[in-house]
Structure 1
């Protein structure tokens, strides 16, 4: 398992950044950095299962381990989805966590990812771009 960390300063409130991260329309916008047409289904309540899809009905499913609005969101990734069918994976503690910390300039958004080594390059290539889109949306949308 590889631990990766990314962070970005955003000139917007934690509430605004949170809304960009998890709002239905803005989620689809910033996740284009990973896969064009990405979306999620389910609720983001602690303990619930959320499914992350690409336009071809493939993706992954995860459990919401922590949801502290405007501060922290943590997912435990459980498996992959192929043509809409869930396939459990033994990834151990494969997690994705978002931390929002208010400061005098706005918000520091930090993401920590525990990922199997085969996904490390993908995240290293794509995650900073995704956070840049979150920054742009947070600072420039009404």
Structure 2
């Protein structure tokens, strides 16, 4: 397992950066860094299940599912993954099960530092570095243009 960390300063209040990152419409824009057509189902409240999905050629979707273990609005979100989704069906376990992904929003004088920290299986690390680097830049761009 490898721990990855990404950080970017965004010229916008934390509440706005939060809304851009977690709002479904803007999520779909920046999550294209992972796969075009990426989306999520579920919610961001503590205890809720969430599924991060991308389309397959056959019309089904695949991705990961987990639970929101902590949510402090406009400050912090933590996700614990429970397994993967293959062709629309949840499969508990697998390489992502038990891993965490955290988002922190730290505002100082109207500038928000967005920090993304995640645990990934070693074999995913290189791909995730590239995708998250692109994704965090897209979040910054979207948050600063509105």
Q: Which TM class, normalised by the smaller chain length?
A: over 0.9
Asked whether 1:60 is paired with 2:64, we answer yes
For 2:39, the equivalent position in structure 1 comes to: 39
For 2:140, the equivalent position in structure 1 comes to: 135
Q: How far apart, in 2, do the equivalents of 1:43 and 1:99 lie?
A: 17
The TM-score, its normalising length taken from structure 1, stands at 0.95
TM superposition shift of 1:20: 0.3
Q: Secondary structure at the match of 1:12?
A: coil
CA contact (8 A) 1:93 1:114 kept: no
The TM-score, its normalising length taken from structure 2, stands at 0.92
Range with bigger deviation, 14-23 or 52-61: 52-61
Q: How far apart, in 2, do the equivalents of 1:136 and 1:119 lie?
A: 26
Q: How far apart, in 2, do the equivalents of 1:123 and 1:103 lie?
A: 28
Asked whether 1:122 is paired with 2:117, we answer no
Please provide the CA RMSD for this pair. 1.2
Q: Mapping of 1:1-142 within 5 angstroms? A: 1-56=1-56, 57-90=61-94, 91=96, 93-141=98-146
TM superposition shift of 1:136: 0.5
TM superposition shift of 1:105: 4.9
CA contact (8 A) 1:41 1:52 kept: yes
* Uncovered stretches (5+) of structure 1, i.e. residues with no partner: none
Q: How far apart, in 1, do the equivalents of 2:6 and 2:62 lie?
A: 25
Paired residue total: 141
* Uncovered stretches (5+) of structure 2, i.e. residues with no partner: none
